[in-house]
Amino acid sequence: MKIFLLFLLMSSTFFAQNKTIVQRADSVLALMTLEEKVGQLVQYSGDWATGAAQGRPAETSDELLKQGKIGSFLNVVSSEKTMKLQRIAVEQSRLKIPLLFGLDVIHGYFSTFPVPIGEASSWNPSLIEKSARMQAIEASSAGINWTFNPMVDIARDPRWGRIVEGSGEDPYLGSLMAVARVKGYQGDDLSAHNTILACAKHFAAYGGAEGGRDYNTVDLSERNLRDYYLPPFKAAIEAGVGSLMASFNEIGGVPASACKFLMTDILRGEWKSDAFVVSDWNSIGELIPHGVAKDRKQAAELGIKATVDMDMETSAYFYHLAELVKEGNVDIKFVDDAVRRVLIAKFKLGLFDDPYKYSNVEREKKTIKSKEIVDATREVAQETLVLLKNEKNTLPLSKSLKSIALIGPLVKSKDDPLGGWSALGDSSDVVSVYEGLTKKIGKNIKINYAKGCSFLDNDKSGFADAIKAANESQVVIAFVGEHRGMSAEASSRAKLDLPGVQEDLIKELKKTGKPIVVVLMNGRPLTITWLQENVDAIIEAWYPGISAGFVIADVLFGDVNPSGKLPVTFPRYVGQVPIYYNHKNTGRPYNPKDRFTSYYMDLENTPLYPFGFGLSYTTFEYSNPVLSKSSIKKDEALTVTVDVKNTGKLEGKEVVQLYIRDLVGSVTRPVKELKDFAKINLKPGESKRVTFTITPEKLKFYDLNMNYVVEPGDFKVFIGTNSVDVKESSFTVVE
């Protein structure tokens, strides 16, 4: 009888018309034993054969699937492998509940797009949505129905290697990028076979680690948490993200994986989200070294009571959750609520209607590295490069040059352009700088190549060849930066210099007297102060993905005019860190004429490059901003209009940025806050009028009593090409 009922339950026709997804989830929940409920909250990596590695059960994953004791895998890839496991779960277990297959599709599955901080440099949310869409199409064709992305951690400390995975230091830009990625991955119909569940991570404030040291303590005020770190998560929730991932770090003494304030009060209470929360890898188990749990059983109790729904790889829920319920230490409601949220996601994905739809070998073969997806990697990457310096119009290079020198460890690298977290990205698919430039101009321009040095040692024996190549060339292009393994997880650096002897190499090259262009591939802001002062042109390329060589060649020779803007501040020296644009004024703001103000006595007290900075091969002129009103009520809006003209000789894109400053509040307010931007394309001589609307929502903040309100008072408004080079005006808000 039960099987028949179950069949009816699952068949979408019978229930879909009559029941909501929540009701359908509850119908399944009602049939589950406690052990089966716990199984839905257990996630393991890969389809291991046997072994109690990392405290895993001794049974094989197949055996546990038949018992309904695993609800999800990560790191199982391919239609074939996912189909094998899905069949066991759906055909050989009692309740036939389909599995989730998660993977870190952070910037591509096989076809690697630029790293997220590079994508954020495009300041083009619709382009980033397209990138996520392409990633989802490719990953879903190989059985993946859940990505552990977008990573939405605000990061102000470039010592933290994971800054590469996010969208930089600003909550507004970070929120738009979070929404773009959620929409791209989840699409308009999460039940479609080419859309996948997104996961906003790492909840929360992981980027606030003291000293920029990964996994380190985070201690910040609730106001700071709400002003800076939570907005991208809230935006992702409002965009319908289906899951979140709890972070490793503590916040003010409470590890996120045991933090009711975050998971219950804010996520479930304030934001009313039914998205489920997965722990980070063993982050429930790490409650023990954090010192809030004496053993894995107590860790399980803390996790489930904080509403961390799924346990990635700790086996804490696997071994102890049922026991905790039977003993009366955990109310079954915690388990039921968690299971319901996981089942809702599986229903939303349409897995109960067709559990095998993601695993299709034929579609996988046709989709992986399809021309549409590979072309998209180039299209996206073209808008991620940031022109940091271009003296004497060194760039774009002329195609009538006779010879160029390509020097540095990144010229022929086919690994590093992939960046970190590149899933199944394969270096054989990468177009290296050398390959891209050879293909573009190799027939007409002689290329003199020398590696010069590595980034992993201090060996200068290659300098002589590099100098020779430079002397035989009209222009020197140095490709330097960081090894791809120097950023992303567990990759914090105490220094922000170019690693190894790369800068020494460029100093030697400068002695040849040739024009020097530097192209950087790196995963964090670097203190390239000497380069800024001594070379002719600098391009920040981040890690551009598989089309790196084509895109860098496109930009160097002017077929693409770079339009990227920095989503994160570059310091001059690591001692300035943390340094970010939306800082407070303090009672003694820096005044070069008064030493008793907030500054460092041993350096220039400004960023090397400010937030929002990026040059173009053309130039843009801004008119003075015109406001529709000089005074508004708290519930009124006003518009700010500016005319932007392309005053150069080349067509180009410009990111027009709008910032505000609340001059007096019941609490201190940042000296600037990004509130809007528009990326426009202008032909030479063309002018466009850009109008922004400042709504009450853009003026709200958490006041002295932590109410999210607009306060009356005077405001400044700034419009410009970055967070420093702006034209300003002002307005007043009245009661």
Q: Which residues bind ligand GLC (CB under 6 A)?
A: 74, 104, 148, 201, 280-281, 489
Which of residues 206 and 318 has its CB atom nearest to ligand GLC in the complex? 206
Question: Which residue is at the shortest CB distance from ligand GLC?
Answer: 148
Burial zone of 735 (CB within 10 Å; 0-12 exposed, 13-18 middle, 19+ buried): exposed
Which residue, 200 or 546, has its beta carbon nearer to ligand GLC? 200
Q: Which C-beta is closer to ligand GLC: that of 280 or that of 309? A: 280
Q: Are 675 and 694 within 8 A, CB to CB? A: yes
Q: Which is nearer to ligand GLC, 106 or 407 (CB)?
A: 106
Cβ neighbours around 605 below 10 Å, total? 15
Beta carbon of residue 247, minimum distance to ligand GLC (angstroms, whole number): 8
Q: Residue 94 to residues 199, 406, 522: CA-CA distances in angstroms?
A: 29, 63, 50
Cα torsion angle, 488, 490, 493, 494, sign: positive
CB of 422 to ligand GLC, least distance (A): 13
Collapsed DSSP state (helix, strand, coil) of residue 3: helix
Task: Catalytic residue, from 47, 153, 280, 311: name it.
Answer: 280
Tell me whether residue 337 is one of the annotated catalytic residues: no
Looking at the Cβ atoms of 422 and 432, the one nearer to ligand GLC is 422
CB of 345 to ligand GLC, least distance (A): 16
Smallest distance from ligand GLC to CB 200, Å: 11
The residue (of 281 and 455) whose beta carbon lies closer to ligand GLC is: 281
Chain length of the chain: 735
User: Cα–Cα distances in Å, from 566 out to 163, 296, 498, 563?
Assistant: 13, 43, 18, 10
Which two three-digit tokens encode residue 590?
A: 């820096």
Q: Which string of b and e fits 497-531 if b means at least 16 CB within 10 Å?
A: ebbbbbbebbebbbebebbbbbbbbbbbbbbbbeb
The three-class DSSP label of residue 554 is: helix
Toward ligand GLC, which CB reaches closer, 150 or 567? 150
Query: Is residue 417 packed enough to be buried (19+ CB in 10 Å), middle (13-18) or exposed (0-12)?
Result: buried
Provide, rounded to whole angstroms, the least separation between the CB of residue 235 and ligand GLC: 19
Shortest Cβ 26–ligand GLC spacing (Å)? 29
Question: Measured from the CB of residue 343, what is the shortest distance to ligand GLC in angstroms?
Answer: 22
> Containing H/E element for 246?
strand 243-246
Residue 104 or 119 with smaller CB distance to ligand GLC: 104
Block residue for tokens 């005044």: 591
Q: Is the peptide bond before 202 cis (omega within 30 degrees of 0)?
A: yes
User: Are 114 and 546 a contacting pair, CB within 8 Å?
Assistant: no
Among candidates 324, 418, 380, 364, which has minimal Cα distance to 122?
380
- Nearest distance in Å: CB 76, ligand GLC: 12
Tell me if 717 sits within 8 A of 728, measured CB to CB: yes
What are residue 147's phi and psi, to 5 degrees? -110, 145
- With tokens 């024996």, the residue in question is 461
Question: In terms of CB distance, is 279 or 448 closer to ligand GLC?
Answer: 279
Quick check: 283 and 315 in contact, CB under 8 A?
no
Closest-CA residue to 340 (of 2, 40, 44, 593): 40
Min dist. Cβ of residue 147 to ligand GLC (A): 9
Name residue 317's amino acid: Y
Mention every residue, 6+ apart, whose C-beta is less than 8 A from residue 723. 581, 610, 611, 612, 613, 657, 659, 672, 674
Q: Which residues are catalytic?
A: 280
